[in-house]
Amino acid sequence: MTHQLVWRLRGNADLVILCNYNYDSLEEYHHCIRRDVEADIDETDEESDDELMEIDDHQPVLISASGASIGALERTKYKTEDWKEVMSCSVCCEEFMTGEEITKMPCFSAHIFHMDCIQDWLKVSHTCPLCRYPMPTE
């Protein structure tokens, strides 16, 4: 039994490859197709495993802000009239309460956060959570 396969190469629709395969039965033909597909799957799985191993080798490095720079952050009381556009902490997403102590970052927009929230954030990242303003590191 002869089966013809027509393949078009990617990127060139005018190039057509005609392949003639001789098989004794349709079952043999299906067996060969299944074998080729399984081989492709196995190869893809091996490539995926290799890619995952590479990803595991490249763990992100956390750079914290220096303790001195965290300690030097300006603290103030939250007043609704002073911060009309900012009603909640961007780290925990909880609303600020009037009179609550907040911490102001030295970035150009002077972003504000709950004191505990920004301190915890700066222990694992040396940048402002909103604008990525870099804080001094140790």
The three-state DSSP-derived secondary structure of 20-55 is EEECCCHHHHHHHHHHHHHHHHHHHHHHHHHHHHHH
Tokens of 45: 């799985």
Query: What tens digit of pLDDT does each residue of 75-101 get?
Result: 999 998 888 889 999 999 999 999 999
Kindly report the pTM of this predicted structure: 0.57
Assess whether pLDDT exceeds 60 at residue 18: no
Q: Among 46-55, 60-69, 86-95, 107-116, which is the least confidently predicted range?
A: 46-55
Report the residue count for the chain: 138
Assess whether pLDDT exceeds 80 at residue 44: no
Q: Is 134 left (phi over 0), alpha (psi -120 to 50) or beta?
A: beta
The domains of the chain, with CATH numbers, are: 2-57 (no CATH), 67-122 (3.30.40.10)
